[in-house]
Copies of this chain bind each other. A is one copy, B any other.
Amino acid sequence: MANTNPARGMRDFLPADVRKRNYVIGIIKEVYESYGFEPLETPSVENLDTLMGKYGEEGNQLIFKILKRGEKLRDARQETGDESTPSDISSLQSQVSSLSDLALRYDLTVPLARVVANNKNDLPKFFKRYQIQPVWRADRPARGRFREFYQCDVDAIGSSSRVVEAELISAVTQILTRLGFNDFVIRLNHRKVLADILDTAGVPADKHGDALVVIDKLDKIGQDGVRAELESRGIPNSASEMLLNIFEQTQKIVDEGKDVNRTIVSNLINIVSNEVLTEIGDILRFAGDCPIQLDPSLARGLSYYTGAIVEINVPDLAGSLAGGGRYDGLIGMFGKEQIPACGLSIGLERILVVMDERKMFDKPIAEGKLKLDSADVMVTMLGEESAAESLKLANELRRQGLRVTVYPEADKLSKQMKYADSIKVPFVCVLGESEIADGTVTLKNMKTGEQNAYPRVEIASKITK
């Protein structure tokens, strides 16, 4: 018998799953639209060259590559076939590009940069777009980590004003609030704050990249882990100690919980340039009602960030619900022009995991905003003769706005009721010969068991009520 599981790390979404996902996506879209962001969609498949080298060495390896086809593959095999059989991964890596010309999208930011460079003359000066599509990473699957997952990105292209950061943070705050989250924290930092801290601590300029990668893991591996890994990357112990000391001071301020952002800023005055502190101040002022907390230790993994960086967390999730930042250099990698850009990305599956665990869907279900049932009513089919009449009744009810399913074949009424139960429809219309004859329908309420005959024209209103 064939393997019927989805591919490793991928998932099938049965109807109730899809409905929950669509409910969340619906709110995300609505809020993004209310901020004047416009929808963009890009292909799942990109030229391999577009993606390679944009996500660091690890990213390169996690990109799903597509095999060349037909003639192109034959040519590639003839070329590489002459070489000796590769015996190690690195020599193999160099051959991957001869076997593959396409790849699956790894995030939504690089495709956006490509689209902006490609459509410069057709896009407005400030291009505000949202994009909700899947991405693929050949990561080792784990709890909550999938090989196909949705990102819900929102980006503003063309302005370096801090109003952009504030509007993005405000939009995502609005989304999380509307979904029912009330305990999330928006951690805010700035790549230049980190650079100034690293300089002050004595980390050599050419080790900043290394240091950021390590600091990004602080939550996971702790102070000792960071200390060890910084050392292994050749960063002096004195610098590590000073770095960790600065971060520890911040944590104390957070723990004390009084006037946190102002205290952190005043602590940074001797380390960070005034210009950057003003930038941060502007963002805090413009996004005044969002739960922002400065966090000088926030690093974010990706290398393309150049300014403010953001991560949104809730206490009961190890990873973040959303994150992003300013990347003023990425679009220039595709076009002639440097164009400033800033964006945030919401991780759909993480939102869903937390909402499911916290039973946060109960409320929209109770309010009728999220329907998990398959239809509003089922119409029975009691005989081959009455089939056409059942279909006609169904269409009448549909025209009145109801979702109607028809039992598809003549069968015992008890079996049809059992099926109606299994698909959780709240009402069943029984249409037998006597009902057809006198223009009535017997309506059964599946919750109460109550059952009454009504004139056919009144049925829809009885169900809606």
A positions within 8 Å CB-CB of B: 1-7, 10-15, 17-19, 21-22, 33-36, 38-47, 49-50, 61, 64-67, 69-71, 73-74, 77-78, 81-82, 84-89, 92, 95-96, 99-100, 102, 104, 111, 114-115, 117-119, 122-126, 128-129, 134, 136, 138, 147-148, 156, 159, 161, 163-164, 166-167, 170, 174, 285-286, 288, 333-336, 374-375, 378, 381, 387-388, 391, 394-395, 398, 402-409, 419, 422-423
Contacts and interface: CB of A to CB of B under 8 A. Distances in A.
Contact of A85 (B21, B81, B126, B336): B81
Given A13-B40, A161-B409, A163-B381, 10 more contacts: A4-B335, A5-B47, A7-B47, A36-B403, A44-B104, A45-B136, A61-B69, A78-B86, A156-B408, A288-B388
A130 to B, nearest CB: 10
A222 B190 CA distance: 67
Contacts of A285: 388
Contacts of A73: 92, 96
A403 B45 CA distance: 32
A422 B125 CA distance: 9
B64 A40 contact: no
A13 B41 contact: yes
Given A2-B49, A405-B128, A391 B18 contact: no
A281 to B, nearest CB: 12
Given A67-B96, A92-B77, A334-B2, A42 B163 contact: no
A395 B167 CA distance: 10
A83 to B, nearest CB: 9
A116 to B, nearest CB: 9
A433 to B, nearest CB: 18
29 contacts: A1-B336, A4-B335, A5-B118, A7-B43, A7-B46, A7-B102, A10-B45, A13-B40, A13-B42, A14-B40, A15-B40, A19-B39, A34-B402, A35-B403, A35-B405, A36-B378, A36-B403, A36-B404, A45-B64, A45-B104, A64-B69, A74-B86, A77-B92, A78-B85, A124-B422, A126-B407, A161-B408, A167-B406, A174-B398
Contacts of A64: 45, 66-67, 69, 102
Given A36-B403, A96-B73, A333-B2, A148 B7 contact: no
A164 B45 contact: no
Contacts of A49: 2-3
A77 B93 CA distance: 12
Nearest to A64: B66
Contact of A419 (B69, B95, B124, B422): B124
Contacts of A381: 163
Nearest to A285: B388
Contacts of A419: 124-126
A3 to B, nearest CB: 6
Contact of A43 (B2, B12, B77, B391): B12
Given A73-B96, A166-B391, A167-B408, A3 B47 contact: yes
